[in-house]
Structure 1
Amino acid sequence: MAGEPQADCLFCKIVAGDVPATVVRETETTVAFRDIHPQAPTHVLVIPRVHYPDAAALAVAEPGIAADVLREAGEIAAQEKIDGTGYRVIFNTGAGAGQTVFHAHAHVLGGRGLNWPPG
C-alpha cells in the first residue's frame, strides 16, 4: 500500500532503525542523514518517513509531507552553514535521472561551487 514501509527499501530500513545512518536531523515526518557517497563537502539526504517511490508521487499523495521535506532541506542548509554561500536541492526521479533508491528523497548539496549544468 502506498505510504507503507516496504520490506526491500533501504530508506524504509533507515527510518525503522534497522540500517545504520549518520542522522543529522529528525522530525515527526522526515529523517535527514549524510550520503554515504558524497558528491560535495555537504551532501545530506532528506527523506519522508512514509514510503513513496519518488517526489512526484509523494507530492500528489501527501503534499504536506512533501513540503516538510523541502522545509527540512532548508533547515539542513542552515544547520550545515551552507545557506549563506548557496546550496542545491535535487530530487532525482527514475533510473535514467540517477535515482537508485526508489523512496522519495531530496539531496542537499553545498560547500563548494555548484556550476550548472552539473557534470
Structure 2
Amino acid sequence: MYPQGRMLHHFRELCVGDYLAVKGPKGRFRYQPGQVRAFGMIAGGSGITPMFQVARAILENPKDMTNVHLIYANVTYEDILLKEELDSLVANYPGRFKVHYVLNQEQRSFIGI
C-alpha cells in the first residue's frame, strides 16, 4: 500500500471482522473478434487484471488478428503485477502484442522483453 493511495485510509480504518463492499468495473464492454485493427489499453497497478484477461482472449483466439498495445504504469519495478505473463505474451505474439511499462518512482519507462 502507498501512503498517498486512495484506498489506504479505508483499509487502515478496518478492524478484524469488518466488511468492505466493493463493486465494479463500471460500464459494459463487448468486444467482437476482428472488430478493430488495433486495441489500445492503459492500466495502472492492479488495474492490469481485466486488461490482461482481454489481451489474452484476443491474442489466443486464432480467428482474431487484432494487435494489442498496453501502457502499464506502476510506482516501482517490483510493483509490476503479471510481468512474466505479459512478457510471455510479447514473446508468443511478436508484432501483435506490445507492452510499455511506465514507472513513477524510478522515472523511467521501458518496453516489455
TM-score after normalising by structure 1:
0.28
Between structure 1 and structure 2, the one with the greater Rg is 2
